[in-house]
Structure 1
Amino acid sequence: MNFKPASPFLLAALAVGLAGCSAPAPAPSAPATASASASAASGGGQATGASSGWQLVPANGAAAIKAAGLQVLSEEGSAEHYHAHLDVLSDGHSVPVPAYIGYSFGTDGQPNGISALHTHDDSGIVHIEAPTAGLTYTLGQVLTEWGVLDGSGGAPGSAHSSAADWQAYVNGVKQPGNPRDIRLKAHDEVLLVHGAAPATIPSSYSFPEGY
């Protein structure tokens, strides 16, 4: 589903209270650029095109935010503000993490709300900008807002396979259990892998200044 770039006035409103982050860029309808660390780890291969099933469905935004146990806010919060980074590798192919995860959209295709947990662009940077301090945010909530790895069907390693069949690394360290349970912390580099692990596991991510 294609949708129009958001009004710069609305984006400015959604960015109220934001410190150290740039305003969201217009959302791509079918992201085709993986983050640099995942691309390097996978040798540059990418899961491409709408048929991959990884694309964001804007019409589901509000429902996905609520399914993740989060609220649709009118603006980003300022009581809690930090960032993590997510890379996804499916059987040696890097999967782009799309812009506008955690946004709701109106019937006109414009964003009309945002959750405390969201992405501004397809860099893989996950923003936590919450109105209440001290709450826990998880990788599972990001995946729910994205609408992927929900176990609803598909071949192993595909967009709707079970997250329990994937392996996660945080800051280069292999994590036990279901990746959905991983708690996101400031400046974490999270790598989600299906299939053989890459030869190089990223242990950090170079965040922009101010992040």
Structure 2
Amino acid sequence: MSATLSACGGGGASAPAAAVVTPVTPTTPTYQLAATSTLLTAGVTVGTPNWPDGSTASGGNGAPVAGINCLVTEDYHIHAHLTILRDGNALAIPAHIGLQGCAYELHTHDQSGVIHIETSSARQFTLGQLFAVWGQPLSRSNVAGITGLPVTVLYNDSDTVLEWTGDIGALELTSHRSITIELGAPQYTVPAYRWDAGL
């Protein structure tokens, strides 16, 4: 008598395929320029006045400040731009910063936010030097006397907006660079500017 053994196949049903799960990566909002732009030209005011015109008593008043001297010759002349936003609203940069006691190599003429960089030869200038001539503090906790708000610093070269995460004072002032300091909640649409042909 022989015994026959047979394997049990469990009914022949196949196991369901494992579900493919694609991890979701959080996206960080990117900064972009506003659809409309402001023309930067002599005499225009950008924003609401918030500070008195001119440098403060602790700023430039005729003596060298933070490596910035009184202008002797104007062989090198470029322009940069500064915007300070508080909760999305622009605060006008004062006119006549760096024009007390002498005309400094870094100065403003009006409330446009245009920074005039004029000197005898090309060299590096920084945002911290402008604030020193202005006589105002510049840090992640205090921007020109405004405290208690988050600080985001952006810069725009050739229509590309990037965030500056380093020392604010070390941010270089280069030709036609637009710098935006945001105080408060970040605004992901950054003001856009056009330069007058004379600038």
TM-score w.r.t. the length of structure 2 is 0.64
For the residues of structure 2 that align with 1:161 and 1:64, how far apart are their CA atoms? 26
* 3-state secondary structure, aligned to 1:89: strand
Give the RMSD, CA atoms, in angstroms: 3.0
Separation in 1, partners of 2:126, 2:97:
14
Amino acid of the residue matched to residue 65 of structure 2? A
Distance change in 2, residues 1:64/1:193 (3 Å): farther
Return the alpha-carbon distance in structure 1 between the equivalents of residues 143 and 74 of structure 2: 35
- Greater strand share, 1 or 2? 2
Q: 1:55 aligns with which of 49, 52, 56?
A: 52
Using the size of structure 1 for normalisation, the TM-score is 0.61
Provide structure 2 residue ranges, at least 5 long, that are not aligned to the other structure. 1-40
- 2:65 is aligned to 67
> In structure 2, what is the Cα distance between the partners aligned to 1:68 and 1:184?
15
Please give the per-residue CA displacement for 1:162-191, whole angstroms capped at 9, x wherever unaligned.
Answer: 7xx632111021112121110011010110
Larger helix fraction of residues: 1
> Is the 1:91–1:196 Cα contact (8 Å) retained in structure 2?
yes
**Which runs of 5 or more structure 1 residues have no equivalent in the other structure?**
1-21, 26-32, 40-45, 49-53, 106-112
Identical positions, percent? 29
Are the aligned partners of 1:139 and 1:184 in contact in 2 as well (CA < 8 Å)? yes
RCO higher in structure (CA 8 A, sep ≥6) = 2
- Aligned equivalent of 2:136, options 134, 140, 148: 148
Alignment of 1:172-211 (within 5 A): 172-202=161-191, 204-211=192-199
Query: SS of 1:141's equivalent?
Result: helix
Partners of 1:178 and 1:142 lie apart in 2 by: 14
Structure showing greater Rg: 2
* Corresponding pairs, count: 152
Counterparts of 2:142 and 2:91, CA distance in 1: 11
